[in-house]
Amino acid sequence: MDGVFDDEVEQTVTIDEYLKNVEAEELNADLVLGGDEGNECTYNMGYMKRQAIFSCLSCTPDGNAGVCTACSLSCHDGHEIVELWTKRNFRCDCGNSKFGENFCKIFAKKDVENAENSYNHNFKGLYCSCDRPYPDPDVEAQEEMIQCIMCEDWFHDEHLGLESSNEIPRDEEGEPFYEDFICKTCSAVCSFLTLYPKAIWASGGEDVATNSNAKDKDVLEDIPTACGFGKLENDICAKNSSQKDNATAGKASAVGESSGKNSGSNSPNQCTKDINLHTTCVLGVDVEVTSPVSEGKPLFLSKNWRDVLCRCEKCLDMYNQKQISYLLDKEDTIVEYEKMAKQKREEKLQQQEGAELSFFNKLGHIEKVEILNGIADFKDEFRSFVESFDKSKTITSSDVHQIFENLAKKRRRM
């Protein structure tokens, strides 16, 4: 409170504004941390689908290790920490061989290394193809960056490989008009995406303005889904063998049948309850043979584009070989991660309210009366202060302290 009501700051803040700011900051923290309160090391949870990760440059200046939220707070307090937002398929490194003699204070028994972890220059506090830190000390106005869903690096608009930043799909208010972004380097790995209908690509410029009314609609409604043709509703594919849909699918022919198999933690969400449903390839071609050569340009993908990706046996094998099967997993997305975080936050608030009510109900009659009288005394004292205070002046920290001193004096006289 002292920082908010500091005389030297000369900043006016209403109580309502202050409470809203606190709530917004707590929500942002929960979204980044995925609802993780940082009480336990996540090592025992294995390679987590997605979690908040931090790099400690004090312990690992080479940027070859990452730690979970709890370890960043308990084991690396006061160190030079880099916040990496989230990383997929990562296991906490804290205290393993990369940290020398420094052990994890929360859970010390860990493997020498986590072989499946991936690291990039982000772990050194550097981002984009320009290899600059964020925030950049040499830049006055910090520019927002875009994250690639594959390498998970962050890029400045001017380093995306576009002729102009106007090519980035945005709506009339400048907000992103795309769901996911793939950088120009990673686009070479998934050039097969260019074989899909144009509806999976986010539009920009004039197209955005023209189609603004469809922003909240499923732009992939009429293109082939992962299990055949037709629109995707309630995660169940409705087959439609009409000539119109066949034409939209590029006159797909059968090249394989779905194996219905799972590919570990990155297994795709099946769009039918029958996992043994035999399907044809959505593309109708051998993607390994016909995938066009990448032009080295970034890709901007529209809403629900993952639902359209083919899940036939050949395509599943291709995803596994390229190690990109996570593209089939909706839970891999930041949207799902933040949705989970919001659910955890709501549950936590409900538990807190329930705990407070339970605590109050367990008190005896005298204790309950004391609490209620204390609340009433505070309201009266605060009301008296507001009524007598000069509205042309700013409430300072000393004013707030005076309120509580007056309350203490009253309590002592009772």
Give the mean pLDDT of 174-191. 93
Q: Which are the contacts of 360, defined by CB distance < 8 A and separation ≥ 6?
A: 368, 371
Token code pair at residue 370: 């004391």
CA distance 72 to 268: 32
Residues 6+ away with beta carbon under 8 Å from 329: 49, 266, 267, 268, 269, 306
Min mean pLDDT across 128-137, 277-286, 333-342, 405-414 is at 277-286
- pLDDT (mean) for 247-266: 34
**pLDDT at position 28, please?**
79
Q: What is the pLDDT of residue 234?
A: 33
Nearest Cα to Cα of residue 67 among 48, 46, 95, 47: 95
Query: In the structure, what pLDDT confidence band is assigned to residue 2 with cuts at 50, 70 and 90?
Result: low
pLDDT tens string 114-168: 999 999 999 999 999 999 999 999 998 888 899 999 999 999 999 999 999 999 9
Residue 211's pLDDT band (cuts 50, 70, 90): very low
List Cα–Cα distances, 301 to 169, 182, 196, 218, 312, in angstroms: 9, 8, 11, 13, 21
Strands 81-90 and 48-56, sheet pairing: antiparallel
- Angle formed by the axes of helices 365-388 and 397-413, to 10°? 130
Measured in degrees and rounded to the nearest 5, phi and psi for residue 245 equal -70, -35
| Predicted local confidence at residue 294, as pLDDT | 66
- Give me the chain's average pLDDT, please: 78
Torsion 372-376-381-385 (CA) sign: positive
Share of the chain above pLDDT 90, in %: 42
Two structure tokens written together for 76? 């690396």
Angstrom distances, CA of residue 312 to CA of 222, 223, 224, 315: 20, 17, 13, 5
> What does the pLDDT read at residue 131?
97
pLDDT of residue 322: 94
